[in-house]
Structure 1
Amino acid sequence: MKTFGIRLVTLVLVISGIFLSCQDEISTTYTYRTMMPIYLEMSDVRARMISVSPPQPLDNPGKIYIYGDYLLINEPQEGIHILDNSNPANPINKSFIPIQGNVDMAINDNKLYADSYVDLLVFDISAINNIKLINRVKDVFTHLYSHDTGVVVTLKDSVVTVDSESWLTDRGFFLANSSASFASNFSEASKSYGQGGSMARFTLMSDHLYAVDQTSLKVFDVKNPSEPSFLKNINLGWGIETIFPFQEKLFIGSNRGMHIYDAKNPSAPTKMSVYEHVLACDPVVVNEEHAFVTLRSGNFCFNGVNELQIIDIKNPYSPKLKKAYPMLNPHGLGLAGDYLYLAEGTHGLKSFKVNDVMTIDQNQLEFLQSMKSVDLIPGPKSLIVIGPEGVCQFDYSVPNKLKKLSCIDVKNPVVVK
């Protein structure tokens, strides 16, 4: 999964024969839709004033996050929608915070943390109608940053026509059908923290903000919520994707496996173990005894499998696979007590009773094939599900019979694979 998740790389191959002479010579051209690098000066990005805008329609919803009566929806690379969700049957779009290079968010004590390319921004949202940028921590997310030139390398959806099929691969571009998925993750239960989904790169626990990029875990002290202090960078190896906090531990998903870190000393997490699996995208949620991991193939998820894995974590120093269940193309997932809700991408939304992890396949509750989904949050008022066509909310007080409450449709829906 790429950092700054963007809808990537739909390959359109057009071969056209053009007769150029009486000898019927044929010229072949190739037209690709791909992501081209764009170079931005961070000094220019920082110089632009961030002013909260009137509500905007959803175009490409990314991560979802709930905080009190508010629902936040990220538009990857563009910013964050703020919605009044006091009535999940009628969410009200309130405003939009334009943030260049934004992918992740988390909230601590009315302070919204959001990335802007390489910087961490802090917004005061205590007055939701008067949101203000109050701090910027510079140069903390530097995996796409050149210190020598002050330039950020990002990507733009582009169409190119070339005379060689190898033009893109020769330059390191991808020729696969792909859409990156975005969503947030569950935050540690706290009156001052928000709550997200299962595929986050930001999370909060014990007065600390943790953020992962493709290779590392970054630790911030947020005891003073307005003044986050960057403490350290912990190298994890390549392919890091998600982070999930639970009972003073950090469960970090990668395309090679699941890392477990002890965060009893929240300023200095230490490695407990790594559970390895085949190459595949890997969001994780956990309870006291088990980690629930979805693996999926295709796109940037390599050639892995499509399955739900149940990992025994009673001994976090020696996690073991307990059972695996075949799925169609599983994305994000969420636990609500003995019930598991699982996003199956374009295939729909599934729910299971999981009190007996050895019989999950015999305890599927529903399969809503019309609800294309990439991630979800079992929240205090509703089950919030995000997909390529929008964000829907369900009453899940009766776990085996979801009742749709509302949907916010996307202006220009795209297919997620």
Structure 2
Amino acid sequence: MKLTAKLLSLVAILPMMAFFSCQDEINTTHTFRTMMPVYLEMSDIRARTISVEPAQELDNPGKIYIYGNYLLINEPTEGIHILDNTNPSNPINKSFIPIEGNVDLAVNSNILYADNYVDLLAFDISDINNIRLVNRVEDVFAHLYNHATGQVITYKDTVITSENAYWGCVNCEFYAMDASIGFAANYSAAAQSYGTGGSMARFTLANGHLYAVDENTMRVFDVKTASDPKLVKPIDLGWGIETIFPFQNKLFIGSNRGMHIYDASTPASPTRMAVYEHVVACDPVVVNEDYAFVTLRSGNFCVNNINQLQVINIQDPYKPYLMKSYPMLNPHGLGLAGDNLYIAEGTHGLKSFKVSDVMTIDQNQMEFLESMKSVDLIPGPKSLIVIGPDGVCQYDYSTPSKLRKLSCIDVKNPIVVK
């Protein structure tokens, strides 16, 4: 028996560990991809020249981001693909920026911000054929950084073949990453100089500031001079932080325990307004003037067996409360375009709903594309951009109830499980 998978989660491993004892030899071969720990010297990483490379095929696409006529696709921990999306029916893969440890991105006035392990990089992309690194802010994402040794602890996507393995050994260690952690999607009403990120984004821009969240902290950067980002301060948020979404001088922060609302009317110093709590589950969020739409899902590190769309009343942002919840299959990212809500249902497909009446969403499903495996999406100005394990597809959604496929970019090594 041979098992090949993009990622092997800890959830899948534990039952096998319980079944086999250390004395039971498995005379089979297992080939899988997992995340193994790697220790790196930041001084070595900073010494390497970052040179833009020719276009590369997508291998494991992560965050997607729209800026003008360009579509940017992150390759988790590897870098960023730049595509000319002037014609969504024929996107042109232009180049690749290799950035070690990159997980997220945002663009402000032709300056691309990207994390490079513990550093924040700023690239000038005003000439897309001559992208230049113009700034590096060191030691700002320090949650994986050991200052005493100068080492970064990271995880590398590694293919492992194990023969005659002994499962259940006391000293066996397994490292897994939530398959969704590298994906993004939703639509935010940003200023013209900003691009558009998604519901799973950890970087966002608002009012001349960049907000970046990790598992427990929001870092605030002054980017009024776009090419010269300055760290203002970190803000402690508590544990389990996953996503950030800006709307009307507020920041909506998704965590695996609930949704935080911050007042960002003083951009350099956001203040907490309220926290809406729910059961432990993965939690991206999008909002409009009156409601927040939150998807909760089970699987991987989202430990509760709950798959829902929750609608939260935020008319008084100091007192958010649940209006109604709807059962879903395994919802991931989501995007809101007017009264139309699009939900990525993982391997189950892509759903769309009319949400003008939040109390009857289940009665107003527009479409369910079961063949479109999806983990996130952006309702953009030209197309609905959907990302899934097999690639990135774009749809004409001018008729919201009937999506029309425009193009697809397939990944080099799609997920295969045998």
| TM-score computed with the length of structure 1 as normaliser | 0.91
Cα drift, residue 302 of structure 1:
1.1
Does residue 219 (structure 1) correspond to residue 216 (structure 2)? The answer is: no
Does residue 60 (structure 1) correspond to residue 60 (structure 2)? The answer is: yes
| 8 Å Cα contact 1:80/1:98 also seen in 2 | yes
Shift of the 333–415 alpha-carbon distance from structure 1 to 2, 3 Å rule, reads farther
| 8 Å Cα contact 2:187/2:379 also seen in 1 | no
- 2:66 alignment partner AA: I
3-state SS of 2:356 partner: coil
3-state SS of 2:360 partner: helix
Cα drift, residue 187 of structure 1:
4.3
Following the alignment from structure 2 to structure 1, what is the Cα–Cα distance between the partners of residues 251 and 177? Answer: 32
Give the corresponding residue for 1:403: 404
Following the alignment from structure 1 to structure 2, what is the Cα–Cα distance between the partners of residues 218 and 44? Answer: 25
1:112-163: CA deviation from partner (whole Å, max 9, x where unpaired): 0000110000000000000000000001011111111111111122536754
| 8 Å Cα contact 1:7/1:179 also seen in 2 | no
After superposition, where does 1:162-181 map in structure 2 within 5 Å?
Answer: 163-167=166-170, 171=173, 173=174, 180-181=181-182
Give the corresponding residue for 2:3: none
- 1:209 alignment partner AA: L
Cα drift, residue 191 of structure 1:
1.2
Give the corresponding residue for 1:138: 138
Does residue 313 (structure 1) correspond to residue 314 (structure 2)? The answer is: yes
Cα drift, residue 233 of structure 1:
0.6
- 1:127 alignment partner AA: D
Does residue 249 (structure 1) correspond to residue 246 (structure 2)? The answer is: no
After superposition, where does 1:84-103 map in structure 2 within 5 Å?
Answer: 84-103=84-103
After superposition, where does 1:231-250 map in structure 2 within 5 Å?
Answer: 231-250=232-251
Structural RMSD (CA): 2.3
Following the alignment from structure 1 to structure 2, what is the Cα–Cα distance between the partners of residues 43 and 168? Answer: 32
Gaps of 5+ in 1: 1-5, 18-25
Following the alignment from structure 1 to structure 2, what is the Cα–Cα distance between the partners of residues 14 and 291? Answer: 40
Cα drift, residue 175 of structure 1:
7.5
Cα drift, residue 189 of structure 1:
2.1
Following the alignment from structure 1 to structure 2, what is the Cα–Cα distance between the partners of residues 86 and 168? Answer: 53
Give the corresponding residue for 1:380: 381
| 8 Å Cα contact 1:56/1:95 also seen in 2 | yes
Give the corresponding residue for 2:151: 151
Does residue 104 (structure 1) correspond to residue 104 (structure 2)? The answer is: yes
| 8 Å Cα contact 2:79/2:97 also seen in 1 | yes
3-state SS of 2:53 partner: coil
Following the alignment from structure 2 to structure 1, what is the Cα–Cα distance between the partners of residues 41 and 359? Answer: 53
| TM-score computed with the length of structure 2 as normaliser | 0.91
Following the alignment from structure 1 to structure 2, what is the Cα–Cα distance between the partners of residues 196 and 168? Answer: 41
| 8 Å Cα contact 1:186/1:377 also seen in 2 | yes
Aligned length: 401
| 8 Å Cα contact 1:308/1:327 also seen in 2 | yes
- 1:165 alignment partner AA: G
Give the corresponding residue for 1:21: none
Following the alignment from structure 2 to structure 1, what is the Cα–Cα distance between the partners of residues 31 and 384? Answer: 38
Give the corresponding residue for 1:28: 25
- 1:93 alignment partner AA: N
Following the alignment from structure 1 to structure 2, what is the Cα–Cα distance between the partners of residues 27 and 275? Answer: 47
Following the alignment from structure 2 to structure 1, what is the Cα–Cα distance between the partners of residues 384 and 276? Answer: 29
1:153-195: CA deviation from partner (whole Å, max 9, x where unpaired): 11122536754514467x5x45799564411554442110001
| 8 Å Cα contact 2:63/2:103 also seen in 1 | yes
Following the alignment from structure 1 to structure 2, what is the Cα–Cα distance between the partners of residues 295 and 40? Answer: 35
Identity, % of aligned pairs?
Answer: 70
- 2:309 alignment partner AA: L
Following the alignment from structure 1 to structure 2, what is the Cα–Cα distance between the partners of residues 123 and 92? Answer: 20
Cα drift, residue 247 of structure 1:
0.4
After superposition, where does 1:3-402 map in structure 2 within 5 Å?
Answer: 7=7, 9=9, 11=12, 28=25, 33=32, 34-156=34-156, 157-159=158-160, 163-167=166-170, 171=173, 173=174, 180-402=181-403
Cα drift, residue 35 of structure 1:
2.4
- 1:236 alignment partner AA: L
Shift of the 390–82 alpha-carbon distance from structure 1 to 2, 3 Å rule, reads same
1:260-279: CA deviation from partner (whole Å, max 9, x where unpaired): 00000000000000000000
